């Protein structure tokens, strides 16, 4: 792919937009970010905070520990802590500067009625509005569709900033993901100038490996990663599942180490990268081969997730693991046919895993999804693939991805509603 062509810029920009550092689960962090920004706009500490959130935000905040807090959970914690000590300039690392005194102040404020929570009814899966009040003054910040996508800032009835989130891609703020396809992703991975992606991928390798090792060494969540190694051994297939699971163990249970995300999710960022990093070490692959495998893995996951959306009842670990399967195939010098079959085999197997919020069991879903991706690749190498008409499998890999996207985006709407109602009963 020519470096000066439009498609080269598209795929490079998608990587730059998606592969960014985040501290903690991205939904709680988005609340803290909006709250920190609202406090900044208000100009003083509020005496009242209203956190209005869409159902999927509530679902993904309910069971996860807010980073830096040790063991604190909930929307109120995120909103208050963001206002107390958050730095909105740091985006998804908004809580990086939190100190013990901020935690203590947050705990005291949680005992008051400073923060109330409301549910936003509407089609947007990722939507939150933080209102910070002080006397008769107020500031309001709205985030929509993407975790850092502030679409409106208002103070005392005056709109300070506003944009249409749906037109972000058309306005050049975000690349048009609808133009992505597997054949071009494969070509881009083969031809990209490594210097263009090296810094992004070096950060992904460093951050995600570090948190996985932390999860394996210490007691986090349900310890899925270390349990896999304890009972299944130290072979590469187990390591490929254990590392992203251990990273999730740590991240879902309050570890303060950042990760590099994919498709707005740290769990997906670890799933799409760590199995490839470990396989590259096992195979003795060159640094360049590792980078190219990570390029194809990250972009394949983003391509699949684009038609589903940032949040839904569809578990994003599946699309991320599917990307990992492709990256592992690439490390083994697989051609495009094997890569296509790996994707189809993986999606035909585990595309029914549901997202019931961010919490420790995400680590187990990651392990299961990576296992399915490895099976999918091995089946492809063995000349076997699920055929068109078998369930959601279509005539081509692109059509299969579209059918899975429709399942996650449209078919699981009612599932999403039921999951939320069950969780908040």
The CATH number assigned to the domain holding 86 equals: 3.30.1330
Please indicate, yes or no, whether residues 261 and 331 belong to a single structural domain of this protein.
Answer: yes
Distance (Å) of CA 148 to CA 51, 92, 218: 16, 7, 31
Give the list of residues 6+ apart from residue 165 with CB closer than 8 angstroms, or none: 144, 145, 146, 149, 151
Per-residue model confidence (pLDDT) at position 165: 55
Give the list of residues 6+ apart from residue 159 with CB closer than 8 angstroms, or none: 152, 153
Give domain status of residue 417, yes or no. Answer: yes
Give domain status of residue 172, yes or no. Answer: no
Please indicate, yes or no, whether residues 282 and 391 belong to a single structural domain of this protein.
Answer: yes
Alpha-carbon distance of 125 to 121, in angstroms, equals 10
**pLDDT tens-digit readout, 341-371:** 999 999 999 998 999 888 899 999 999 999 9
Please indicate, yes or no, whether residues 161 and 190 belong to a single structural domain of this protein.
Answer: no
Please indicate, yes or no, whether residues 43 and 110 belong to a single structural domain of this protein.
Answer: yes
Give domain status of residue 3, yes or no. Answer: no
Q: Which of 132, 167, 202 is the last residue before a domain boundary?
A: 167
Distance (Å) of CA 251 to CA 129, 256, 267: 25, 8, 8
Q: What angle do CA 92, 20, 34 make, to 5 degrees?
A: 20
Per-residue model confidence (pLDDT) at position 170: 38
Give domain status of residue 13, yes or no. Answer: no
- Can you count the helices (H) and strands (E) in the chain? 17, 8
Give domain status of residue 71, yes or no. Answer: yes
Return the CATH number at 274. 1.10.4100
3-state DSSP call for residue 150? strand
Give domain status of residue 5, yes or no. Answer: no
Give domain status of residue 10, yes or no. Answer: no
Give the list of residues 6+ apart from residue 320 with CB closer than 8 angstroms, or none: 262, 263, 265, 267, 268, 269, 271, 272, 301, 305, 366, 369
Alpha-carbon distance of 276 to 293, in angstroms, equals 7
Please indicate, yes or no, whether residues 263 and 154 belong to a single structural domain of this protein.
Answer: no
272 is in which domain, residue-wise? Answer: 177-423
DSSP 8-state code for residue 351: T
Question: What is the value of pTM for the model shown?
Answer: 0.89
Per-residue model confidence (pLDDT) at position 112: 93
- Residue 77's Cβ-count burial label (10 Å; 0-12, 13-18, 19+) is buried
Please give the tally of structural domains in the chain.
2
Q: In what order do the strands lie in the sheet with 115-120?
A: 115-120, 48-54, 127-134, 137-144, 150-155, 158-162
Please indicate, yes or no, whether residues 119 and 230 belong to a single structural domain of this protein.
Answer: no
Q: Which of 126, 142, 167 is the last residue before a domain boundary?
A: 167
Per-residue model confidence (pLDDT) at position 173: 59
**Beta bridge partners of residue 52, listed in sequence order:** 118, 129
- Output the furthest CA–CA distance in the chain (Å, rounded): 69
Alpha-carbon distance of 328 to 235, in angstroms, equals 15
Q: Are 81 and 69 in contact (CB under 8 A)?
A: yes
Give me the sign of the Cα torsion angle 316, 317, 320, 321: negative
Please indicate, yes or no, whether residues 75 and 207 belong to a single structural domain of this protein.
Answer: no
Please indicate, yes or no, whether residues 121 and 267 belong to a single structural domain of this protein.
Answer: no
Residue spans of the chain under pLDDT 50:
167-172
Please indicate, yes or no, whether residues 200 and 54 belong to a single structural domain of this protein.
Answer: no
DSSP 8-state code for residue 407: I
Please indicate, yes or no, whether residues 43 and 119 belong to a single structural domain of this protein.
Answer: yes
Alpha-carbon distance of 192 to 8, in angstroms, equals 8
Please indicate, yes or no, whether residues 162 and 184 belong to a single structural domain of this protein.
Answer: no
Give me the sign of the Cα torsion angle 141, 146, 149, 152: negative
Alpha-carbon distance of 40 to 297, in angstroms, equals 38
Per-residue model confidence (pLDDT) at position 172: 43
Please indicate, yes or no, whether residues 147 and 215 belong to a single structural domain of this protein.
Answer: no
Per-residue model confidence (pLDDT) at position 169: 40
Alpha-carbon distance of 299 to 18, in angstroms, equals 9
**Beta bridge partners of residue 50, listed in sequence order:** 116, 131
Give domain status of residue 136, yes or no. Answer: yes
Alpha-carbon distance of 72 to 69, in angstroms, equals 6
Q: Which of 167, 192, 225 is the last residue before a domain boundary?
A: 167
């Amino acid at each position: 792919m020519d470096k000066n062509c439009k498609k080269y810029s598209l795929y490079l920009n998608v990587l730059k937009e998606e592969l960014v550092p985040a501290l903690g689960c991205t939904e709680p962090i988005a609340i803290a970010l909006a709250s920190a920004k609202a406090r900044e706009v208000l100009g003083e500490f509020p005496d009242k905070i209203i956190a209005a959130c869409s159902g999927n935000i509530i679902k993904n905040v309910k069971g996860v520990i807010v980073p830096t807090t040790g063991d604190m959970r909930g929307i109120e914690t995120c909103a208050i802590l963001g206002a107390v000590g958050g730095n909105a300039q740091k985006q998804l690392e908004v809580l990086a500067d939190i100190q013990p005194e901020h935690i203590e102040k947050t705990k005291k404020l949680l005992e008051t009625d400073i923060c109330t929570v409301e549910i936003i009814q509407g089609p947007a899966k990722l939507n939150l509005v933080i209102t910070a009040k002080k006397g008769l003054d107020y500031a309001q910040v709205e985030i929509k569709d993407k975790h850092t996508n502030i679409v409106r800032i208002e103070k005392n009835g005056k709109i300070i900033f506003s944009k249409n989130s749906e037109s972000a891609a058309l306005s050049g703020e975000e690349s048009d993901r609808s133009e992505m396809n597997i054949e071009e992703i494969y070509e881009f991975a083969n031809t990209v100038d490594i210097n263009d992606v090296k810094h992004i991928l070096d950060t992904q390798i460093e951050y995600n490996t570090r948190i996985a090792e932390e999860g394996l060494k210490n007691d986090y969540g349900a310890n899925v990663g270390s349990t896999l190694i304890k009972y299944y051994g130290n072979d590469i297939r187990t390591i490929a599942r254990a590392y992203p699971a251990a990273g999730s163990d740590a991240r879902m249970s309050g570890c303060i180490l950042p990760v590099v995300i994919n498709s707005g999710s740290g769990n997906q960022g670890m799933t799409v990268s760590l199995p490839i990093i470990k396989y590259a070490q096992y195979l003795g692959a060159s640094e360049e081969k590792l980078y190219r495998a990570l390029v194809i893995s990250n972009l394949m996951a983003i391509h699949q997730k684009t038609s589903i959306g940032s949040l839904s009842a569809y578990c994003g670990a599946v699309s991320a693991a599917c990307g990992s399967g492709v990256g592992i195939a690439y490390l083994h010098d697989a051609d495009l046919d094997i890569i296509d079959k790996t994707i189809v085999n993986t999606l035909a197997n585990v595309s029914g895993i549901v997202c019931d919020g961010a919490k420790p069991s995400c680590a187990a879903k990651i392990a299961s999804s990576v296992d399915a991706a490895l099976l999918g690749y091995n089946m492809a190498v063995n000349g076997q693939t699920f055929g068109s008409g078998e369930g959601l499998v279509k005539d081509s890999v692109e059509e299969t991805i579209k059918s899975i996207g429709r399942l996650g985006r449209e078919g699981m709407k009612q599932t999403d509603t039921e999951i939320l109602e069950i969780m908040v009963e």
